[in-house]
Structure 1
């Protein structure tokens, strides 16, 4: 099973980053503008469309306020298995360290998904810091 872990520092307080991260139905507006262009939440499943035109359905597994962690799972092809989380940690300088972890099958998707995660973290930084 491929396991990917990436992180990024953002120059906003953890409470501000968490407020956007936990708003799972508005990530296209509040968290990853430009990376995700559409997000519709129905119950615990969100349908998202990326800027590259790719669409995916994701089940929201957990929104944990105490740990500032959101967990989701992509549903269906091309994944045999997918589970991911993003967690917001205090970075010690007043900012936030965002950690994104994804476990997935098949292993052949690792490079593609890692690239998407890196793009997503970049979009988080730009969106949260208000850089356009």
Structure 2
């Protein structure tokens, strides 16, 4: 099974970052603008449309306010298995460290998914820091 782990530092307060991260139906507005262009909730899942046009149904597994962690799984093609999480950690000087971990099959999708996660992290940093500057 392919496993991908990425982390970034964000110049934004952990409480504000968590508030955006836990808003699982509005990630296209509050967390990863541009990387995700649309997101809608359907029961315990969200349908996510990415900037490249790909649409994926993601079941929300957990929104953990204590650990500041959101976990989800992707359903259907091209994956036979996909689960991921993003967790926010308080750092010094009001900064936040974000850790995104994804496990997936088939292994051959790792380069494509890793590239998308890298793009998502860039969008996350940009969105959260812009919003922090505008409101903080």
TM superposition score normalised by structure 1 = 0.97
Q: Which runs of 4+ in 1 moved over 3 A?
A: none
Larger % of helix: which?
2
Distance in 1 between the 2:43 and 2:68 partners?
Answer: 21
2:93 corresponds to 1:93: yes
- 1:63 alignment counterpart: 63
TM superposition score normalised by structure 2 = 0.94
What's the secondary structure of 1:15's corresponding residue? helix
- 2:6 alignment counterpart: 6
Gaps of 5+ in 2: 132-136
Instruction: Kindly state the Cα deviation for residue 93 of structure 1 after the two structures are TM-superposed.
Output: 2.7
After the TM superposition, which residues 1-132 of structure 1 pair with which residues of structure 2 at under 5 Å, given as runs? 1-130=1-130
Instruction: Kindly state the Cα deviation for residue 92 of structure 1 after the two structures are TM-superposed.
Output: 2.0
CA RMSD of aligned residues (A): 0.8
Distance in 2 between the 1:91 and 1:113 partners?
Answer: 27
